[in-house]
Amino acid sequence: MENNSYSDSKENGKKVWKTLQNQWGEVLGFFGSMINSIVCYFKKNFVAALILAILFGAIGFAISYLQKPSYHAEMTVSYAHLEKKIYADMLYKLDQLIQNKQYVELADVLDLSLEEAKNLKNIDSKNIHYQPLIKDISTEKVPFYIIVDVYDNSILDTLEKKLIAFLSSSEFVQERLKLNASNFEKEAAYLKSQIDFAEKLKAQTLQIIDLDPEMLEKLEQINNQQYANFKQLRDIESAMQFNQNIELLDGFVAHSPSPINRHIKYMLLGIIAGILLRMIWPVFKK
């Protein structure tokens, strides 16, 4: 009984294996037939595809060659107020004006001449990790990059200043800078009065012929406080000199990308377009 069951199982296994072999044979036959058809099609249309590939590759090269050369530049800035996402949005809006060829509006916003505005190709921004700044919603105040492509690198110095002014043009930022300046001036005036008062106090103390140890200790304390006030005044006067929202850390340095890579890219795109056109041509012919 057990031998019969084993024989039946063995036979069923052979049948299943044979069925699988037949199915795999059909699948492989299908793909083999399809690949063979493609190979035959290419053989039949090789000359036409080659001609179109060469033709469209040449067109791609011509388009690349005739393109106006551009210059790439980056600058690094830090900021004191608002968030970097806001600055990314402001720069994105400038780039939209460029892409839509709204050069009059762009020139007005950046206070550029119309000719200078037309020499802008694009404006972008990246965070410190060189990721799109417009997607960065973090609140840490770290520097970011402003990236531009221009057709005339002689405008970069002007563009550098205009972009910094544009990013600081917010009414909120301007009011905050005015408030900072007012506070700095008041604090500086107070420290100067304290330094003058300490100087007068020391002069009066030194007129005393016999100074006891307690008076000498107080005189030293006055002198130390006067020096501390002087250092604080120096820091405030430095802050007054740099009371700005956007501070330039590293300016634009233009460099022109190699045209060879661009030519190869356009040629390959043209070749691919030519081959695809030949492949789908029978569909349009019908």
**241-254: burial string, b at 16+ Cβ within 10 Å, e else:** eeeebbebeeebeb
Q: What is the pLDDT of residue 209?
A: 59
- The tens digit of pLDDT for each residue in 96-146 reads 999 999 999 999 999 999 999 999 999 999 999 999 999 988 888 899 999
φ, ψ of residue 76 to 5 degrees: the values are: -110, 130
> Are 246 and 77 contacting, i.e. CB atoms less than 8 angstroms apart?
yes
> Are 148 and 120 contacting, i.e. CB atoms less than 8 angstroms apart?
yes
pLDDT band at 15 (very low <50, low <70, confident <90, very high): low
The count of other CB atoms within 10 Å of the CB of residue 201 is: 15
Computed from CA positions of residues 227, 228, 229, 235, in that sequence, does the dihedral angle turn out positive or negative? positive
pTM of the prediction? Answer: 0.58
* pLDDT higher at 101 or 13: 101
> Are 133 and 85 contacting, i.e. CB atoms less than 8 angstroms apart?
yes
CB-based contacts of 130: which residues, under 8 Å, 6+ apart? 145
Q: Please tell me the distance from the alpha carbon of residue 85 to that of residue 234, in angstroms, as a whole number.
A: 34
- The tens digit of pLDDT for each residue in 196-231 reads 888 887 787 777 656 677 777 777 888 888 888 888
Query: Longest C-alpha distance within the chain, in Å?
Result: 132
Q: What is the mean pLDDT of residues 4-19?
A: 63
Q: What is the pLDDT of residue 1?
A: 47
Q: Please tell me the distance from the alpha carbon of residue 146 to that of residue 79, in angstroms, as a whole number.
A: 13
CB-based contacts of 155: which residues, under 8 Å, 6+ apart? 112, 116, 119, 120
Closest C-alpha among 117, 118, 124 to residue 92:
124
